Homo-oligomer: A and B are copies of this chain.
């Protein structure tokens, strides 16, 4: 029964929501700024949704959307019945678009990965625990097994490299390598499943893997680094040898499958 414009209710507008792109985004931005300005310290409970709505002159829905953004950004956490809190450990996030992979972008990613894997191999040689070394060996055996079973062995290959990164005992290596693995997964698979190349390649790959493993087992960091560097250089060479093939296959796959993955919401504990 009140067809008046929606903002006439505010006799004294507490804060005129400036017309703009997205109201909830503006609010999220202002809240984010306020948090980083230290208005509420780490772990502090921030005002209730109703209070924030009044403060910004908006409805609770918008406040909830804004807080949802901050929550997804890792800046706040919410507990039902209790409130929303500034995160104890704010997070920064690095995002990577996953377009249709082309040779250029794959090469760029490999360029970044190479020094990381080399260093990871060096650290793994120096720090690996017995169980970690065992896991690397198992991963290598899994590759053979998968290949003999006629599979591409891509997942097992990635698992091998991941086991090495784990043995470096520095979680950042696994995190970054996992991150870029999501990007490389498809591209690697494309080259590896190329039938004509697989047989000759696999011999090389196995030998190179063995060299890395031996160096790590021997605790020789320098040798492990060299072996890893060699392996990755050869991997790039192998990739470059089948560029047309790569592009063909990618093109064929474009229509149906959307390659991607985002962990928008974290893992469920149960």
Interface residues of A (CB under 8 A from B): 20-21, 25, 28-29, 32, 35-36, 38, 41-45, 61, 64-65, 68-70, 72-75, 77, 86-99, 108-109, 111-112, 114-116, 118-119, 123, 170-173, 175-176, 179-180, 182-183, 255-266, 268-270
Q: How far is the CA of A21 from the CA of B176 in the complex (A)?
A: 29
Q: Please indicate which of the listed interface residues A32, A115, A176, A261 has the most CB atoms of chain B within 10 Å of its own CB.
A: A115
Complex interface: chain B residues within 8 A of A114 (CB): 119
Inter-chain contact B93/A94, CB cutoff 8 Å: yes
B91, B112, B265: the one contacting A97 at CB < 8 Å is B91
Inter-chain contact A258/B38, CB cutoff 8 Å: yes
Complex interface: chain B residues within 8 A of A269 (CB): 21, 266, 269
B32, B45, B257: the one contacting A42 at CB < 8 Å is B257
Complex interface: chain B residues within 8 A of A64 (CB): 65
Inter-chain contact A112/B262, CB cutoff 8 Å: no
- For this chain, the copies found in one complex come to 2
A264 touching B112 in the complex, CB below 8 Å, given contacts A43-B259, A91-B96, A96-B92: no
A41 touching B258 in the complex, CB below 8 Å, given contacts A112-B173, A119-B114: yes
The list of the 9 closest CB pairs from A to B, nearest first, reads A73-B264, A41-B257, A90-B260, A266-B270, A115-B115, A72-B72, A115-B119, A89-B97, A94-B179
Complex interface: chain B residues within 8 A of A172 (CB): 96, 108-109, 111-112, 180
Inter-chain contact B93/A89, CB cutoff 8 Å: no
Q: How far is the CA of A150 from the CA of B114 in the complex (A)?
A: 40
What are 16 A-B contacts with C-beta separation under 8 Å?
A: A42-B257, A43-B257, A43-B259, A43-B260, A44-B260, A61-B61, A69-B264, A91-B96, A91-B98, A91-B260, A92-B183, A92-B262, A93-B94, A94-B95, A94-B176, A96-B175
